[in-house]
Amino acid sequence: MLAEFVGTGMLVTVVVGSGIAAQRLSPNDVGLQLLENSLATALGLAVLILMLGPVSGAHLNPAVSLADWVLGRRRAGGLPTTDLGGYLAAQLSGGVAGTLLAGVMFDVAPAFSTHQRATPGQLIGEVVATAGLVLLIFTLARTSTPSVTAAAVGAYIGAAYWFTSSTSFANPAVTVARIFTDTFAGIAPASAVPFILAQLVGATVGLGLLLVLQPTATRAAGRAVIPTEPETTPQEHS
């Protein structure tokens, strides 16, 4: 739970903090601001996955945890029901803490965002972004090493900043957290609920595609985003 709290918090700190820095460094160029924000997010996410994956799997995203839980219901494995609530609570509270930390570092007071985003096109963008993310993660969970997965997930999110109209939140915890900053990365509370619903639809679409394209995909349950390292006893070390 601590790994999910810290990881989601640091992910949001990267997103919000780099957004504030981009606004200050490139005040007259929105395109450059988005480039700076997307690069920082892609790199930061990859590092967090490598650092925290062995502890919790580095879900850092309620959509991923829910997808892992659903896959586990089809086959023994996946995130246990007893852990699901804890993961979601850690991710949501960690994300809000990350927004507050970014504000403290940049001397920006917390405030509800006024950035309205929930147009039909942007909601479709969130469906696409989240579906692609879920499909990618659970495909790589069966076929790739942790380092490849971390790089690929970071690269996908970095690219999705640009090819989706929503700039690819693709994460309910990050969406909730970004309500509390009226800066470049913010999202108005009225837009957050439609975004989260679109993300859940996208996660469902991604899982459906996964089960069609990878008929044995349930074997990936419990290995997302990367497998956790089992605890060992002194006898196992000897």
Q: Report pLDDT digits (tens) over 198-213.
A: 999 999 999 999 999 9
How far apart (Å, rounded) are the C-alpha atoms in residues 169 and 157?
A: 9
The per-residue pLDDT for 24 is: 96
Structural tokens at position 180 = 């509390």
Q: Which CATH number is 2-227's, of 1.20.1080.10, 1.20.210.10, 3.30.360.10, 1.10.10.350?
A: 1.20.1080.10
Residue 230's pLDDT band, with cuts at 50, 70 and 90, is low
What residues does each domain of the chain span? 2-227
2-18 residue pLDDT tens: 999 999 999 999 999 99
Q: What is the pTM of this model?
A: 0.92
| Residues in Cβ contact with 217 at an 8 Å cutoff, skipping those fewer than 6 apart | 71, 138, 139, 142, 210, 211
Query: Closest by alpha carbon to 187, among 44, 28, 16, 30?
Result: 16
* pLDDT at 232 (0 to 100): 45
The amino acid present at 75, given as its one-letter code, is R
pLDDT tens sequence across 29-45: 999 999 999 999 999 99
Query: Is the predicted pLDDT of residue 60 greater than 70, yes or no?
Result: yes
